[in-house]
Structure 1
Amino acid sequence: MVTITKEQQAFTLINVFTVAADRQDELTNFLIQNTDEFISKCPGFISASFHKGIDGTSVVVYAQYDSLEAFQNMIKTEGGQKMVEEGSKIAESAQRSLCYVYETKDLQPTL
């Protein structure tokens, strides 16, 4: 289960991909498969969530690692480099944002 709280102090990667509409599913499935087979086994990986834009031309990945260093170590590996290279052949562009959770808000239950 994905947990997003500032208390968790997790490092967050938000990656927004632009993709041709006829390749949105291909990119999403590639990212999920790569996470299942490689990224999830890397030290420091916590979770990943995959989002498909309703316009069909975007894919957003929200991933958490226990530190910036864990993410950097993963991306430097042969598997990480291969993932970037192969993903770049499917996506038209990618905008990576490296973050820490600042605040979260939940709907307060009514009694």
Structure 2
Amino acid sequence: MTVTAQIDSTRPVATLINVFSVSPDRQSELIALLARATEETMRHQPGFICANFHASQDGERVINYAQWESEGHYRAMLTNPEARVHMDQAAKIAHDVQPRLFRVQSTHQRRTHRDAGRP
């Protein structure tokens, strides 16, 4: 079963948003490394839900939007030696890495025709 990111303020997940600053000529390399690390290691860690990678159009940033079942699961992954190897490799490509955990506070969607008349 494939699980995708669900942004929902009622779900008690730990959301990691990690901003990597990178040289435009290395952006693709960083995304490839992060995708490989996720397939080989991160997705097998207890509590992992999903990871998504976003490339800025100017080539200078990569955003990792990931979800973990809990902050504890995320913190446990940080102590895993195999995961650390991948994180250290990413830190060598990027010139700044800023991981932060977040909680979804509010979500908003465009209303559809089916929503007409509903509050």
Q: TM-score category by the smaller chain? A: over 0.9
1:94 matched to which residue of 2? Answer: 97
2:61 matched to which residue of 1? Answer: 58
Please report how far the alpha carbon of residue 110 of structure 1 lies from its aligned counterpart in structure 2 after TM superposition: 2.4
Distance (whole Å) between structure 1 residues aligned to residue 91 and residue 58 of structure 2: 20
- Identity across matched positions, percent: 34
Larger Rg: 2
Distance (whole Å) between structure 2 residues aligned to residue 77 and residue 96 of structure 1: 17
Please report how far the alpha carbon of residue 81 of structure 1 lies from its aligned counterpart in structure 2 after TM superposition: 1.4
Question: Is residue 78 from structure 1 mapped to residue 81 from structure 2 by the alignment?
Answer: yes
Alpha carbon RMSD of aligned pairs, Å? 0.9
Equivalences for residues 24-35 of structure 1 within 5 A: 24-35=27-38
Please report how far the alpha carbon of residue 45 of structure 1 lies from its aligned counterpart in structure 2 after TM superposition: 0.3
Consecutive unaligned residues in structure 2, runs of 5 or more: 115-119
After TM superposition, what 4+ stretches of structure 1 lie above 2 angstroms from structure 2? Answer: none
Residue by residue over 1:19-69, the C-alpha shift from the partner in whole angstroms, topping out at 9 and shown as x without a partner, is 011000000010011001100000000011110000001000000000000
1:69 matched to which residue of 2? Answer: 72
1:45 matched to which residue of 2? Answer: 48
